[in-house]
Copies of this chain bind each other. A is one copy, B any other.
Amino acid sequence: MSGATGPSLQLRDDGRLRHLLTLAGLPRANLVELLDAAAVLRGDAAGRAALRGTLAGRTVCTLFFEPSTRTRSSFQLAAMRLGADAVNFDFALSSAKKGETALDTMRNLEAMGVDCFVVRHSDNGMVARLAAAARPGTAFVNAGDGQSSHPTQGLLDMLTLRAHKGADFSALRVLIVGDVRHSRVARSDLQALRALGAGEIRVCAPAPLLPGESELQGCRVFDSFDAAIEGVDAVLMLRLQRERMEEGLVPSLEQYFADYGLDARRLERAAPDAIVMHPGPMNRGVEIDDDVADGPQSVILDQVANGVAVRMAVLRAVLAE
């Protein structure tokens, strides 16, 4: 495996996308191009129908070393709607049990003619390592690796912000709330918000759930949710993994909800037209209240719909000849 890291590995010599491994270091032009393409796909049913043959004869393999039926379904639908052969490799049921390495599994599927792998893995950097070990023509899309990166989630969040708040992010105040420290979603969001020049990025979390200072460069950090939410245009809630409680990082789910849960009362402090986002699956009553999750300011299902459009755009880009 070469020592190339995600950012340098993921662009072709002519600057077009070869893989999508991370939003860190991804040139703004690539990012905006993906968002533009996804926005067109999202809005135009006739245009989408015209794309059904785009990837005919190409094979897209979802290779998930961590279970996630939602993200996998979203990628599979994106691949099918572009006419690709979509195959799923369920690692839990596979030769993993027989001691085969992730690398051998990937190389075997590649030899079967997989053109693009959509990979989720619990290890930081594993998707980039697989990409570096593959043949030149094989494309990789990171569907979440460890706690480091979930680039299509970052993109779909930006597409959602843009659709509701306009393409000029310079006046936008965005708040990210919750377990930022362990969240690959938050990392990809922060990278994308910086790349698009968001006016103000706020982060709110209890101290044990904050990442290191270097990751919070340019962010305003809050301990109090009530103070943090004041006047923001968008609130990005993160999922609280229940294991944080077992690890002693959170005292109790009740206390967490009281301090860092979003309910209608708190949302009133935001801008009147503020939108509420969540990457799903939601822990209702833990980080978000039903009233907000299902309320008029929630764009959570809009994020899901944007996810398919973003993934179609990404697959088209990395599989472009």
Contact = CB atoms under 8 A, between A and B. Distances in A.
Interface stretch (A12-20, A105-113, A173-181, A202-210): A105-113
A111 B70 contact: no
A73 B112 contact: yes
Interface in A49-83: 49, 52, 56-57, 59, 67, 69-70, 73-74, 76-77, 80-81
Interface size class of A (residues with CB under 8 A): 35 or more
Which of A59, A98, A105 is the most central at the interface, judged by chain B CB atoms within 10 Å of its CB? A98
A280 B108 contact: yes
In the complex, the count of this chain's copies comes to 3
A280 B94 CA distance: 12
Interface in A90-111: 90-95, 97-101, 104-105, 107-111
Given A77-B85, A108-B301, 9 more contacts: A67-B94, A69-B89, A69-B90, A69-B95, A70-B95, A73-B112, A101-B284, A104-B284, A108-B304
Interface of A: 49, 52, 56-57, 59, 67, 69-70, 73-74, 76-77, 80-81, 85, 87, 89-95, 97-101, 104-105, 107-113, 242, 280-284, 301-302, 304-305, 307-308
